[in-house]
Structure 1
C-alpha cells in the first residue's frame, strides 16, 4: 500500500525537532553577499511517498543508475532538511560508501570517475571511456546494447559532458565535445536527453549530426513538452545549445525526462539500462552556493521519485543512486526541519577525496552495501544484469 512519509517514521530525533515551536538562527559573521550563498532560508515542501519492497525476482531485468555529480552525505542531508526532513531517497534501505580515487590522482574528476563506474577501469584525469594507455574500454552501456537491451543517457548538462560521455564515447580528453558527439552515432543507443545541441548541429567540421541521427530513425526534440509526449521509438532530446540552465530556467527536465525514458525503454522485453545524471549539484558545489545546490538536489530527488513509481509497479527494476565524488567540502552549520532552513559552509571550490554514498532499491539492492570502490558499481551491475556465473 502506498502512503506518504511523515517525519515521525524517519527518526525519533526528527520527532523532537518538529515539536519545537521555532528554530534558532545563529548570528552570522559573513558578509551579506556570502550570506546569500551560504543560507537557504527554506521553501515549499513537496510530499514524499513510501514505496513497497516487493519484487518478482532476486535479480533485475532493468537497471536505472542515477549519478549525483558532486553529491556527498552533507548535500543529501541539506536537501532533507530543506524538504522538512524527508526525501524520496528515504525509500532506499540498502546503503553503502564508495571510494573515488582515479588511476592518476587521489581526488578524482568526473570524467575518470564516470569511466570507472561505467567500465570498471581506473584511468587518468579527463579520460573518456579509455584506459591509462588510451585504449577504448567497454562500458556497461555497450554491453547492454550487445545483449539486446535498450539503453539511454540523461543529463542536466550537455549530453556530451564528462559523465554521460564516459558511458558511450572513447576520447583521450573530456573537452573533445565534437568528437564525443560523433561517438554517439557509433552505437545503437535508444535515448539521449540533455543539452549540447551545438556539438551535433553547429560543428567546426561542417557536419550536421542531427541529419545523420534522423537518418538512423531518431525522433529529435528540443522542447520539454515534446519529450514528455513521446511514447515509443528512438529519441534524442537536445534541450539547450550547451548546458541547461538552473531549475528555474530549464523547468523539470530531469523528472520529466526520467519518466519518459522509463516508459519508452521498458517496451523492450529483454530489459534496459539507463544512466541519469544530476550534473549541476557539482556546479553548485564549485560555486559554494547552498541555494543552487539545494535546488539541484531536490530536483534530482524528484527524478528519483519518478523512477521509484515505475519500479514499484514494474517489480523487476533495480535503482542505484551513486556519486562520482564530493564537491566543496560542504558542512552544515545550522538548520531547521520545520522551516526548511539550511546554513552551510564550504572548505574548497574544488572536488574532495572523501567517501561518497551509494543507495539501492529493487532486486539485487543488497549487493550495494558496505564499503565499495567505484569500479565495483560496474562489476555488480554487470553480474546482476547479465546473470554472470
Structure 2
C-alpha cells in the first residue's frame, strides 16, 4: 500500500512540473496568448488608476551592472533612483538566451517566439503589437531609437517579419502602412532607396510628415507628424550623434502630447547593447549616461503631467558584465565580461506614474504586454 502511494505521488509530481520550454510551446499555439504567470484572464491587476499616456523606455542590453556602472560614472544619483516601483524580468525566448528580436516581440505582443522573429510567433504568424492595439483605439504613437528605425527592437512594435536579417527595406515599407506620428533614429537609405525603387521619404512627405535628418535644426517647431533619420544606416556613437536621444525624446513627447490625446511612445537606448557586444566598458557607460538623460525627459514630463506611466526596462543583458574595480569618487569603472553576446540573467524594470504598482516583483517579459494592454484599456480586436 505504501509503495502504491509513493508511485502515485511521483507520477503526480512529474505531470505537474512542466519546463518553461513546454509552457512556451503550449502558450504560442494562438497569437497573443497570456504566458505563464501573467495577470490576464481573470487574474487581478493591483493598479488602481489607468494612465492617459505611456512612455516605454528600453535600454537594450541593460542589466543591473550596466546601471551600476552609469551610477558610478555619474557620481550623482541616476534618474532611475527616483523610481520606487521596481521589479525583475525573465528574458528567455524559445531558447534560454534571447536575442533583441524575440525579447522585443515578447514585450510588444505578449508571446514568446524564436530568436530573430519580428513580431511573429513560432509558426511565423503575425502577432498584433501593443502599438497596433493603441492605434486602433486612436492613441497617438511614436518610436525613437539610437539604432536604425528598422532594427530589431523598434521594428517589433510596428513590423512583422520572419527574420530580422536583411529586411530593412521591407520594414521601412511596413512602417508606411501604419499611422505612427513620430519615427526617429537611423536608416535614411532604407527609406530613400526603398523596396522596389520606392522613395519612401517623398511618400512620407506626401502623407504629411515633416522629414529631417537633424533633430537640432527642428528647434521649437512642432509638426503634427515627424520622421527624423539622422544617419544613412546605423547611427554613430555619442561623440558624433551628440544629444540626439534626449532631444528626440523631448521632441517626440512635445508632438504627441500637444493635441491632448492619449499617446504611446517607445524609446530605445540601443547602443548600451553594442558596448556589451564589443566588451567596452567605457562605451557602456557613455550610453548609460545618455539613456539616463533621456529617461529624465520622460520622468520630468510624467511628474508634471500626472497622467503618464513611465516604464524603463531591458530586453536582455549583454556581455555578462561585472565591475571589478574603479572609484566612486573619480567616477571610474573597471569592468570585465564573460561573453560578447547576451546572457540569461534577469533584468530590472522600473515604473513611475499611474499603474506603476503593477510592475513590481518578478515577472516574465510577456507580462509587460498584458499589463500595459490592461492599463491602456485596449480591448481585443481582430488580428492582422
> Does the 8 Å CA contact 1:111/1:162 hold for their aligned counterparts?
yes
Query: Partners of 2:101 and 2:259 in 1: how far apart?
Result: 30
Q: Which runs of 4+ in 1 moved over 4 A?
A: none
- 1:243 Cα offset (Å): 1.2
Residue by residue, what CA displacement relative to the aligned partner does 1:43-100 show, whole Å, maximum 9, x if unpaired?
xxxxxxxxxxxxxx82210000000000000000000000114101111101100111
Match of 2:109 among 104, 119, 127: 119
Give the drift of 1:190. 0.4
Among 209, 213, 223, the residue aligned to 2:214:
223
Aligned twin of 1:144? 134
Residue 126 of structure 2: SS of its match in structure 1? Answer: coil
Q: In 2, distance between residues paired with 1:197 and 1:292?
A: 24
Give the distance between the partners of 1:265 and 1:386, measured in 2 at CA: 19
CA offset at residue 215 of structure 1? Answer: 1.2
Write out aligned runs for 1:1-389 (5 A): 58-103=49-94, 105-175=95-165, 176-203=167-194, 205-386=196-377
Contact 2:107 2:367 in 1 (8 A): yes
C-alpha distance in 1, partners of 2:261/2:373?
15
Task: Please give the alpha-carbon distance, in whole angstroms, between the structure 2 residues aligned to 1:154 and 1:367.
Answer: 25
Question: Is the contact made by 1:193 and 1:257 (CA closer than 8 Å) also made in structure 2?
Answer: yes
How far residue 204 of structure 1 moved from its aligned partner, in angstroms, is: 6.0
Instruction: Give unmatched runs, 5+ long, in structure 1.
Output: 1-56
What TM-score do you get using the length of structure 1 for normalisation?
0.83
CA deviations on 1:155-183 (whole Å, 9 max, x unpaired) are 00100000000000011111211101110
Unmatched tracts of structure 2, length 5 or more: 1-47
Q: How many correspondences in the alignment?
A: 332
8 Å Cα contact 2:173-2:195 kept in structure 1 = no
CA RMSD, aligned part only?
1.3
Give the Å deviation of 1:126: 0.5
CA distance in 2, matches of 1:151, 1:130: 21
Q: Deviations over 1:180-228 (max 9, x none)?
A: 1110011100000000011111246211111111111111011121344
SS of structure 1 residue aligned to 2:196: coil
- Is the contact made by 1:228 and 1:257 (CA closer than 8 Å) also made in structure 2? no
